[in-house]
Structure 1
Amino acid sequence: MPTEYLSVKSKEGLAIPLLAATIIFVVVFFTLCRAADRQELADKTQTTQAQQVEQEAQSLYDAAKPRGDHS
């Protein structure tokens, strides 16, 4: 029963598709990494803005409280 191994010729034929698949994988991988970094930056910016708004609201609330009120 003969075993079917890849011949030298067919192994060379796999080089170009393998190279193309590797290039596509690398491009997709780094594109997804950049998208994740952008999303993380957007989340941090949104969190920082929310904290600033909260601090401003708290300071306005504190400024609007009557001086003798300790509640």
Structure 2
Amino acid sequence: MRANLVGFTPGVRTAWHSHALGQPLYIVEGIALVHGAAPNRFMIHLALWETAHATWLEHVADDNYHNPRFGTRARP
């Protein structure tokens, strides 16, 4: 099992991706949107995974990032 504490500055997001065995994320600070931080808040999450392999796709587009269908996850 691997663990990383990952920080995002406001509005930053990564690319769509998946991990072969999944990847639980625990938001420890801020607000998370689709693969990144909310536009006006820093976000830190603890990521856990069992294999180093990930399938990377395109970066999250603005229309997906701002779409409420994807929801948010927040921690004070």
Note whether the superposition's TM-score is higher than 0.5.
no
Greater relative contact order structure (CA < 8 Å, 6+ sep): 2
State the TM bucket, normalised to the shorter chain: under 0.3
Q: Which has the higher helix share?
A: 1
**Larger Cα Rg: Structure 1 or Structure 2?**
1
TM-score normalised to the size of structure 1?
0.14
